[in-house]
Structure 1
Amino acid sequence: MPTNDLMSTSTEERPRSEPYLPPATQPVRAVVWAIHLALPMLGLWLLLANHDDLNGKWHDNLSHFWLIIAVAGINVVLGVMIGQASARRADARLLLVSLVFLSSAGFFLMHGLATPKIILGKGTYGFDLSQPVGLLVASVFAAVSALPLSERAARAVLGAQIWLRGGLAALLALWGAASLVPGLTALSAPAPGAGAGLGGAELAGVALYSVAAVMMFRLHRRRPAAMLVSLITAYALLAEAMVAGMFRHNWHMSWWLWHLLLTLAFVFVAYSAHLQFRREGTGAGVFDSVALSATVLRIRAEYEDALEELVGHLRRRAETRVPVATRLAGKFGLTEGQAAVLDRAGEALANERELSERLAALVDTGRQARVGLPERELLTQALDRVRQAYGDVRMTLVADGRVAMGSREYGPADFPGGEPVRLGGAVVHPLTVKGQLAGALEVPVGRTPQDEALAATLAGQLSIALENARLYQELSTLFRQYMSPDVANSLLADPRTAALGGELVELTALFADLKGFTSFSERSAPGEIVEMLNRYHTAAVPIILSHGGTIVQFVGDALLALFNAPAPQPGHATAAARAALAMQEAAEEIAAGTAGYPRFRIGINTGLALVGNIGSPELRGFNAMGDCVNVAARLEGIAEPGTVVIGQSTLDQIAPRPRVRSLGELSLKGKEQPVHAYVLSGLP
């Protein structure tokens, strides 16, 4: 799997605060690079400005022929290699770049074959025009290759590749015949010694190469790569070669200059490809950095898939017993050295991935061990999550002082000092609660030292979770037997809620007691009194709790329940009224079956009250105080057995309006102003 510059971080992945400058575009290097490109033009100016002194003539037909043949050969090899990369990656830009090299190489070859006294006796128009025409054709491919082609345009280019290559081959064949067969066309006719040119068309070629170089430079800014720098340089040198060739002083130094520029352009790219090949050990990805963005993203996805496959193979290699490199080298075109390195890197990646998964499982186990989760559900969820990261994990709780794990049993003596027991391919860790053996956790032996430490941490986390679950169950059972669930939940979630103090809250208070309880007590045995109270409260308590009420007091035969405290409760007045009517219905069923039982009377009132923990630092209780609660107690006192009396403030908050009977304005003990009261008989 070749690695190349396309894997470098793109600008989208870099911080925006400081723009990234790749090495070739850093200020100093950019200046040096520009100077190198400017030197040939300076040399051309010197040659032309001092025509007689410097721009001397060197006429060597054979040297020219072999130079052209060698450079054209290099160019053809480059074009073929880039074309193969285009076919392998299905990339339109690589196809166009390959045509740049093939077209310039083809016409350069025609120029070499037309060298005087090789095939033809004299210099011809074909000899003069072959390279300008070739450079012009190549400039069109270069400009198009630098464009950010859309997917639709890229598909169109790839779909037309047969026509593009075939058309180029046909053009070269026709040009060769026209320029090399004597008398066939004007191209094979002798040309004046000063040479022929294309006129203004050459300027168009220079402009196209310049645009291509600028566009490739912008691509290099987004995706730094050595091959892109080489291509930019080649386009710039080809543009300069066209400029040098426009002066047409055949066989003079200025004429040889454009040959030198062409040679440098092609050799520069070839040398960069050679260095890339040596660095990677394969030619599969030498030109990937030049490809379109969609191709680069696809290549990155292929590499990621390859790494995932590698990790998967590494995890299964204990079962397959086949080296990973053997299975992947052929698929991804790896050399033996690359496969060995990738094997070791993949193993490190697999270990790192496994470590990350086990850390995540440890975190999730701690998150799942929340207060209130039943012990069995807690352990089941934790075990399911742990098995995803650790594999075949088993957990057993203690029974009769022993832990049965498969065919083996463990006791406290098997884990001296809390140390685990090692059994070949597994390690058994003790689970403890309050320092006593509560169970055991069997985990497969890991491949790294971190695995053993994580397994021990996991056992400790499960021990804590198990102890918390059991402690919470004990506290929850104890709290809920002595206080309302809302108060118990609040205390368990945040012990600071037990602090002394309170706040002013609007609530609905419900007072209930048993009318006739005193006379019943005088004629009944203590056991009968307790049984009677328990029967009534057993019926009343679930009703109040199911309607969202909080019971804060039991005083003999009386109870006080609050609605909208401590937990907020919309429609608390209606909920209290429904609970009261349901209590009376249940009480009637109890009293109907036993003669002489007293009857509930209930008073309800809504208003502001101070709600909180009242008492001392040593002993406190949750309660409510205020005029609202006092009025509820007074209304309960005037209620007839089996009825519910509500105050005006409660009636105003019950919607839709219930069925009531007015008792008029009542003067209640402790109240200066009369209170309008009603007997509640039903709700819509």
Structure 2
Amino acid sequence: MRTTPCSTRVTTGRCPMAAAQPTSVVGRGSAMRVVVWLLHVAAPMLGLWLLIARPEFDMRWEDREAHFALVLLTAVVGAVLGMLINRAALRRDDARQFLVSLTFLLSAGFLGLHALATPGVLLESANTGFAVATPVGLTLSGVTAALSAVEWSERGTAAIMRDRRWWLALAWSLLLTWAVISLAGFAPLDSPPDPAAVTAGQRTLGIVGGLLYAGAALRYLALYRRRPAVVLLSTLTAFVLLAETLATMVFARGWQASWWLWHVLMALAFCFIAYSAHVQFRREGSSVGLFDSIGLQQTVADLQRDYAEALEAMVDAVRRREAGDDRALAPAAARLAERFGLTERQVDVLARAAEALGHEREQARRLGTLVALGEEASVIRAEDDLLGRVLTLATDAYRHDRLRLGLLRSGELSFSDGAPSDASLEALRTLAPVAADDTLALPLTVKGRPAGVLEAHRPGGFADADRALLTSFASQTSIALENARLYHQLDGLFRSYMSPDVATALLADPAQAGLGGEITEVTVLMADLRGFTPFAERTSPDAVVAMLNTYYGAAVPVVLDAGGTVVQFVGDAMMAIFNAPVQQPDHALRAARAGLRLHEAIAAAAAGHDDWPRFRVGINTGPALVGNIGADQMRNFTAIGDTTNLAARLEGLAEPGQVVIGPGTRDCLWDDAVVSDRGSVAVKGKRDPVPVFVLDRLRKR
């Protein structure tokens, strides 16, 4: 689970991811909450319908001083709200927040002008300005509300924020101009209101403004569904209430309950946002970030990046503190507090969140080490090499701890850097983890028997989670060690009975041991001892075996070094193939080189034994069926076909110390070989004579 700066905290201050990326409210009960919200916003319209349908309920209350005070207070609340949102817009450089602030400044400003024009307070009688100020202001603010619903691009945002002073100047100019004309008694706002004209104007403005606010509300509803937040919901609700305000004005009767209703709706719109912001402020302890949730998507993304960077900085500071730098956390906390305006409590919460995230990442990294160790267990690797790799992985996983690995050798527990601790000896004896002071000793086993100890040291000891992970690490190390020893035994056993290439292929893919094969081009090398039968007749069997083992001990490495695969020994004869199972583009050249060097190796091995027979070699290149031949109970990897048969016939034509090659091999070697042409020779099993060549030497390249 990845932790974001505020997914781990719900009460932090100026790092409020709850504002930019709040917890979703979608889930059980969400449908009921939607129904409750709809009932609340629909209640004013139901009340208006009742007042219009039943005029006797539409009571009259004409208290002009109360109207002046209450409406002016509502306008002040709306204006303050607009200024707060404007300040947030300037801090975030966000066009949507700026346009929302204009919406509340315009609507509150014209509502204030309506309050100032209250008849009997500052003016002796009602005028047109008193009657139409609010619908005009709401319609103008509806334009900015609709504009705020647009997801502006970076370029559009830059243009709006660049010209923000002109927007504000235009808004204040409209308000001041209206105030001068309405309050100073200039036409056309100084005349008494014409009921018919006022009603028609309010109807037109109500339709236009209502549609603008309704469109903005729908857009904010889509935003809220994507990233639910309290202030975003309150803004959506305020737009709905302002749209209802315009609708109420069309049907309201002056100074009666229906007329007071639209005043109440505007007060609710402003106070609802103010209250939501107040609740958020009390929860977070700072006014910064209160309106981040209504920002553009780019702003939200920037905030998420800032918060992620802040948390990463704290994670790094916590990591350095754990590494021994006790002064790392305080400067980092001070920088974050200054950057985001965090209180000490909020910094403490962020530090704990960073510590939790750091530990989580560390555990994830250590689990990754377990995976890497599992991969090491599947590789054929020497035991010392494997243990060195294991210790490297463990040291990297627990970089601030001291780890060492000891193995049981000749009955004694041995560490490369000193004597074993008492805890390690106890763990080896009991085959159970042993914790003593700062040391944790974990036994390693192979087939249930003690094999070694993984020893870890940390001042203060290990937490339960680390102890469990180290125990798993030791278990995985035991498996890797057991596999390495098993692989080593199997590898040695296989390579004693078959060519290393075949053994490697079978260990990697046991399915290749199945009976059958495929046609492929190979070069076959046949070698046997000329005069072996007379030698065996006059020599004791043990001396014959000693000679063969000496010869094969010299010949086999030559073939293997050249990349050949020794497929069988038959008495004094040896067969090897090239280009199988490993592909070798120069297989003919490899076989030729092996044939010449074989004679050199045999000459050296037979030194001092003039009575020992010598090898002769035949080499042929061509297609052959390469694969496993035999039965389910026993099989042999070999190559069969005419190419193999001809190689055996060519070997029979060779003299001791000679390498005879066939036409296929001669064609492959061409300029690389110096040969003597023996002409075409009749060969048993072949209808036509076969061109035969004696390989004298290979040219150096």
Q: TM-score range by the shorter chain?
A: 0.7 to 0.9
1:630 equivalent to 2:645? Answer yes
1:159 equivalent to 2:162? Answer yes
Tell me, yes or no, if the aligned pair for 2:149 and 2:219 is still in contact at 8 Å: yes
Q: What is the alpha-carbon distance in structure 1 between the residues aligned to residue 76 and residue 698 of structure 2?
A: 101
1:108 to 108, 111, 115: 111
Q: What is the alpha-carbon distance in structure 1 between the residues aligned to residue 632 and residue 241 of structure 2?
A: 94
Corresponding residue of 1:429: 442
Corresponding residue of 1:288: 292
**Shift, 1:655, TM fit:** 9.0
Tell me, yes or no, if the aligned pair for 1:404 and 1:410 is still in contact at 8 Å: no
Q: Superposed, which structure 2 residues align to 1:521-532 within 5 Å?
A: none
**Shift, 1:149, TM fit:** 1.0
CA offsets per residue over residues 166-220 of structure 1, 9 Å max, x none? 332333233323322x345543454446774477455332221121112112222
Q: What is the alpha-carbon distance in structure 1 between the residues aligned to residue 28 and residue 272 of structure 2?
A: 17
1:490 to 492, 502, 505: 505
Q: What is the alpha-carbon distance in structure 2 between the residues aligned to residue 611 and residue 636 of structure 1?
A: 23
Corresponding residue of 1:13: none
CA offsets per residue over residues 235-275 of structure 1, 9 Å max, x none? 12212222333467533444323222212222222233334
Q: Superposed, which structure 2 residues align to 1:124-139 within 5 Å?
A: 124-139=127-142
Q: What is the alpha-carbon distance in structure 1 between the residues aligned to residue 143 and residue 28 of structure 2?
A: 29
Q: What is the alpha-carbon distance in structure 2 between the residues aligned to residue 628 and residue 468 of structure 1?
A: 41
Corresponding residue of 2:495: 480
Aligned residue type for 2:277: A
Aligned-residue RMSD, C-alpha: 4.2
Change (3 A) 1:421 1:257: closer
1:395 equivalent to 2:409? Answer no
**Shift, 1:144, TM fit:** 0.7
Change (3 A) 1:436 1:32: closer
Corresponding residue of 1:14: none
CA offsets per residue over residues 25-77 of structure 1, 9 Å max, x none? 73x655564455455445545555666x4555432211111111221122123
1:142 to 140, 145, 150: 145
CA offsets per residue over residues 576-604 of structure 1, 9 Å max, x none? 35412552266369759979784633132
Corresponding residue of 2:189: 187
CA offsets per residue over residues 471-526 of structure 1, 9 Å max, x none? 54454345435431112213433556667x44354453321234466678899999
Q: What is the alpha-carbon distance in structure 2 between the residues aligned to residue 652 and residue 94 of structure 1?
A: 84
Question: Structure 1 stretches of 5 or more lacking a match?
Answer: 11-19
Change (3 A) 1:295 1:662: farther
**Shift, 1:626, TM fit:** 5.0
Q: Secondary structure at the match of 1:187?
A: coil
Change (3 A) 1:654 1:237: farther
1:583 to 588, 595, 610: 595
CA offsets per residue over residues 595-624 of structure 1, 9 Å max, x none? 97846331325344463264785x765445
Q: What is the alpha-carbon distance in structure 2 between the residues aligned to residue 659 and residue 437 of structure 1?
A: 58
Corresponding residue of 2:236: 232
1:417 equivalent to 2:430? Answer yes
Higher deviation after alignment, 163-172 or 244-253: 244-253
Q: Secondary structure at the match of 1:272?
A: helix
Tell me, yes or no, if the aligned pair for 1:329 and 1:339 is still in contact at 8 Å: yes
Corresponding residue of 1:357: 365
Q: What is the alpha-carbon distance in structure 1 between the residues aligned to residue 51 and residue 341 of structure 2?
A: 50
1:374 equivalent to 2:389? Answer no
2:305 to 292, 301, 308: 301
2:464 to 449, 453, 458: 449
Higher deviation after alignment, 78-87 or 184-193: 184-193
Q: What is the alpha-carbon distance in structure 2 between the residues aligned to residue 215 and residue 368 of structure 1?
A: 55
**Shift, 1:81, TM fit:** 2.7
**Shift, 1:297, TM fit:** 2.1
Change (3 A) 1:397 1:24: closer
Aligned residue type for 2:619: G
Corresponding residue of 2:583: 569
Corresponding residue of 2:573: 558
1:385 to 380, 389, 393: 393
Change (3 A) 1:177 1:536: farther
**Shift, 1:451, TM fit:** 1.3
**Shift, 1:103, TM fit:** 1.4
Tell me, yes or no, if the aligned pair for 1:307 and 1:346 is still in contact at 8 Å: yes
Higher deviation after alignment, 246-255 or 444-453: 246-255
Q: Secondary structure at the match of 2:618?
A: strand
Q: What is the alpha-carbon distance in structure 2 between the residues aligned to residue 420 and residue 237 of structure 1?
A: 68
Tell me, yes or no, if the aligned pair for 1:96 and 1:145 is still in contact at 8 Å: yes
Question: Structure 2 stretches of 5 or more lacking a match?
Answer: 1-11
CA offsets per residue over residues 289-312 of structure 1, 9 Å max, x none? 211112222222333333333433
Q: What is the alpha-carbon distance in structure 1 between the residues aligned to residue 138 and residue 326 of structure 2?
A: 57
Q: What is the alpha-carbon distance in structure 2 between the residues aligned to residue 336 and residue 299 of structure 1?
A: 21
State the TM-score, normalized to the length of structure 1. 0.82
Tell me, yes or no, if the aligned pair for 2:446 and 2:481 is still in contact at 8 Å: yes
Change (3 A) 1:3 1:396: closer
State the TM-score, normalized to the length of structure 2. 0.81
Q: What is the alpha-carbon distance in structure 1 between the residues aligned to residue 136 and residue 646 of structure 2?
A: 108
Tell me, yes or no, if the aligned pair for 2:679 and 2:691 is still in contact at 8 Å: yes
Higher deviation after alignment, 76-85 or 246-255: 246-255
**Shift, 1:417, TM fit:** 0.6
Q: Secondary structure at the match of 2:440?
A: strand
Q: What is the alpha-carbon distance in structure 1 between the residues aligned to residue 578 and residue 590 of structure 2?
A: 12
Q: What is the alpha-carbon distance in structure 2 between the residues aligned to residue 103 and residue 262 of structure 1?
A: 13
Q: Secondary structure at the match of 1:115?
A: coil
Change (3 A) 1:80 1:382: farther
Q: What is the alpha-carbon distance in structure 2 between the residues aligned to residue 66 and residue 403 of structure 1?
A: 91
Q: What is the alpha-carbon distance in structure 1 between the residues aligned to residue 149 and residue 30 of structure 2?
A: 18
Q: Secondary structure at the match of 2:158?
A: helix
Tell me, yes or no, if the aligned pair for 1:108 and 1:130 is still in contact at 8 Å: yes
1:245 equivalent to 2:249? Answer yes
Corresponding residue of 2:68: 65
**Shift, 1:647, TM fit:** 5.2
Q: What is the alpha-carbon distance in structure 2 between the residues aligned to residue 338 and residue 313 of structure 1?
A: 16
Higher deviation after alignment, 139-148 or 378-387: 378-387
**Shift, 1:135, TM fit:** 1.0
Change (3 A) 1:355 1:599: closer
**Shift, 1:164, TM fit:** 2.2
